[in-house]
Structure 1
Amino acid sequence: MDSFVSEAGLVVPAVTTEQMREVDRVAIEGIGPNLYQMMENAGRNLALSCVEMLGEGWATSSVVVLAGTGGNGGGGICAARHLANHGGQVTLVVSDVERLAGVPAEQLALFRASGGRLAAIGDLGTLETSLTVDAVLGYSLAGAPHGAAADLIGWMSQGPAPVVSLDVPSGVDATTGEAPGVHVRAATTMALALPKTGLAVDATGEIWLADIGIPAGVLERARVRPPPAGLFSKGYRVRLSWSS
């Protein structure tokens, strides 16, 4: 899918994995925003999406955040901290805490300071949740998920709670939309910066796009079409649709 459409009728161009990787490179190595800023923006937007999905009295509902060890996981950890800071009942499960490094590790330290609960994969069978956050795998999926990531995805797939996925449902190829192995079927997917071409599949559920602060100059240097002017004029997130 080359493009999606906002509720206001604006056509939003989609990007492949390689295009998004170049956007991130230009931002992080040159113009900005840096990885920490983008991760913080992504996490805050994701937390707000969770609050909206749960509705009034959300803070009394249990939320389980499943996070991988990369940038997508860091965004999920950030969202968990924002929810905990605002009184949410949050449990975080990381696929491999020992592998966290850099900004995602910093996000985990902040989450610990928030007072949220950090649980192990072995605790999944005991957890109850009203909403599950999928931040296990991002747009860089290569082949079928395996190991701890596959375990987390399998738990989400078997659970009754709705799932909100960050950027792309874990296990779904962000470029093609194919799922080479176990994958998440999300109720909602919150894409970051630009929708990915592979999101035009049923596994994504309702699609929202979040502004994470990437300026037009970054997209221009990365040779990527920018979103239309005014797309985020009414807020930092917009709902998108697609048609087959």
Structure 2
Amino acid sequence: MAADWLGSLVSINCGATLGVYQGEVSSVDQSSQTISLRQPFHNGVKCPVPEVTFSAMDIKELKILEIRSGSNGVTKRSVLDPSAPSTGYAGRKDKGGGGAQGNSAPVTVPGKTEARAHDGGMSPSQNYSKSYGERHADIANQGKVFRRRHNSWSSSSRGANQVTPKKNGSKNGQMKNRDDECFGDGMDDVLDEDFDFEGNLALFDKAAVFSEIDSSDRRGNGARSRGTPAEQTQSRYRHDENILEAKPVVYRQITVPQPGAKEYSTDSGLVVPSISYELHKRLLTVAESYGLSLERRLEMTGVCASQMALTLLGGPNRLTPKNVHQRPTVALLCGPHVQGAQGISCGRHLANHEVEVILFLPNFVKMLEAITNELTLFGKTGGKQVSSVKDLPDTPVDLVINCLDSHENTFLRDQPWYRAAADWANQNRAPVLSIDPPVSGQEQAVEAKWSLSLGLPLALPERAGRVYLCDIGLPRHVFQEAGVKYHSPFGCKFVIPLHSA
């Protein structure tokens, strides 16, 4: 029985992974449950190999496109019905997921058992009892014209001899005439030709069409013109330019009495001049006279610096409830001065956000009251405090925050603990964030990737890395009293990046 299928054209669907194959059946092995196709096509492309063999386990659906019988020379075309019972081909399985027979039904071969067709109640032996020419002559003698339609469901899902049944009634003649007008002679040749999309697209000059539309809009004659003639003469704006400005933008909104050695600019183009350390102290003195005490500035600096550090550590991508096994580690290097107190405040806020903080602060006989207060608060967070460099981690940490330097006391760099901490930071291979770094004639001992300035930036060297500016809450009147014409460059943020002009 397997030899009766040799030479037939079939379509085998092997699922989404292997794809669809079409070709002529060259062999069917019932013992090994395999079928081979000669001159196969894979997903519409001719295969480089002359023959492909399929196992019944890989076949999801098998459709018979054409049956060729070598005994009587009759060619039969059919498409299998997935809902029909499974009989005939020995290599197919009864279950839908295992073989092709579960999703298709056989077409009756002459001399074999006949099965009922899916629609019309006709058996395949009745459909294929005559050749195609004989059936066409019978239909023509009855006054019925049948035309095969390309690119339609009728040519792919029904046999060539199956005619769409017509409704009974007086309108059969009108329906036939309309079918002849839609699917008359000459349509087959047109539909067989592939449409040249690239050639047709090349005929469309998009630039010329848009130029014509724009010129029509400017004249006020186009269909897109709206409003009064005076409104039509106004300039048209892009989506990112649809902001009507009453006056030109002033980018230099901050002026200082004695400009520093550098100028910076924000992302929006505002110019931020650098200031000297004397003017920086003047601003802090005026602010403290108005009630902005050191404790309030430390808290503001700690919040802004910790917010920047959390962003550098990964932000919401790293600090999530599902990522508790990968808590980031931050090493905080502080000295016995105000900059050290700012770092301790930053470490306290980081520890409150589930960051593992290791605070390095040497033991001193006398420390500032601000440092003592910050250490007391930091101890309540569960953070770790060490006084020796040997107690710092041997492996790289996620971030190093440098608060070793002071604006006024430059002699700290000569002390052993300072040099040991700076060497550890340079060898740890972790990125360094410096908070309120000083400007001095000597080169900074710790090379930073980012530096955070307070209020207005100082003229930091290149070794300070990329400069960021922090808003510590200085009122505008404080700047005015210090001789600075000030307009806030922060916008909706408290920490902004600065670019060298």
Segment drifting more, 84-93 vs 217-226 = 217-226
Among residues 71, 76, 88, which one is paired with 2:355 in the alignment?
A: 88
State the one-letter code of the partner of 2:294.
L
In the alignment, what sits opposite 1:57? Answer: 318
CA contact (8 A) 2:358 2:392 kept: no
What's the TM-score once normalised by structure 2's chain length? 0.44
In the alignment, what sits opposite 1:32? Answer: 291
In the alignment, what sits opposite 2:475? Answer: 215
CA contact (8 A) 1:165 1:189 kept: yes
In the alignment, what sits opposite 1:14? Answer: 274
CA contact (8 A) 2:389 2:424 kept: no
In the alignment, what sits opposite 2:451? Answer: 189
Identity %: 25
- Change over 3 Å in CA distance of 1:91–1:127 after alignment to 2: farther
Residue 363 of structure 2 corresponds to residue 116 of structure 1: no
CA contact (8 A) 2:331 2:359 kept: yes
> Could you report, residue by residue, the CA deviation over 1:4-30 in whole angstroms, capped at 9, with x for unpaired residues?
1111111112111111112122222x1
Q: Displacement of 1:99 after TM fit?
A: 3.3
In the alignment, what sits opposite 2:404? Answer: 136
Q: Displacement of 1:94 after TM fit?
A: 1.1
Whole-Å separation in 1 of the counterparts to 2:275 and 2:485:
9
In the alignment, what sits opposite 2:442? Answer: 179
State the one-letter code of the partner of 1:101.
L
CA contact (8 A) 2:360 2:389 kept: no
> Could you report, residue by residue, the CA deviation over 1:51-109 in whole angstroms, capped at 9, with x for unpaired residues?
11110225711100111111111110001100111111111011345432211211111
State the one-letter code of the partner of 2:382.
G
Among residues 72, 92, 106, which one is paired with 2:339 in the alignment?
A: 72
> Could you report, residue by residue, the CA deviation over 1:150-181 in whole angstroms, capped at 9, with x for unpaired residues?
3322221222000000012xxxx51x5x425x
Whole-Å separation in 2 of the counterparts to 1:141 and 1:220:
29
Q: Which structure 2 segments of 5+ residues have no match?
A: 1-260, 320-325
CA contact (8 A) 1:95 1:136 kept: no
Q: Give 3-state SS (helix, strand or coil) of 1:78's partner.
A: helix
Whole-Å separation in 1 of the counterparts to 2:361 and 2:354:
21
Q: Displacement of 1:143 after TM fit?
A: 5.7
What's the TM-score once normalised by structure 1's chain length? 0.87
Bigger radius of gyration, 1 or 2? 2
Q: Displacement of 1:125 after TM fit?
A: 5.0
> Could you report, residue by residue, the CA deviation over 1:174-226 in whole angstroms, capped at 9, with x for unpaired residues?
1x5x425x6111111111111002x1x22111111000011122222223443
CA contact (8 A) 1:40 1:78 kept: yes
Whole-Å separation in 2 of the counterparts to 1:68 and 1:127:
21
Whole-Å separation in 2 of the counterparts to 1:19 and 1:142:
19
Dislocated runs of 4+, deviation >6 Å: none
Whole-Å separation in 2 of the counterparts to 1:18 and 1:154:
30
Q: Give 3-state SS (helix, strand or coil) of 1:99's partner.
A: coil
Compute the RMSD of aligned alpha carbons: 2.0
CA contact (8 A) 1:124 1:155 kept: no
Whole-Å separation in 1 of the counterparts to 2:349 and 2:392:
25
Whole-Å separation in 1 of the counterparts to 2:453 and 2:474:
13
In the alignment, what sits opposite 1:162? Answer: 431
In the alignment, what sits opposite 1:204? Answer: 464
Whole-Å separation in 2 of the counterparts to 1:60 and 1:136:
25
Normalized per residue, the structure richer in helix is 1
- Change over 3 Å in CA distance of 1:124–1:195 after alignment to 2: farther
RCO greater where, 1 or 2, for CA within 8 Å and sep 6 or more? 1
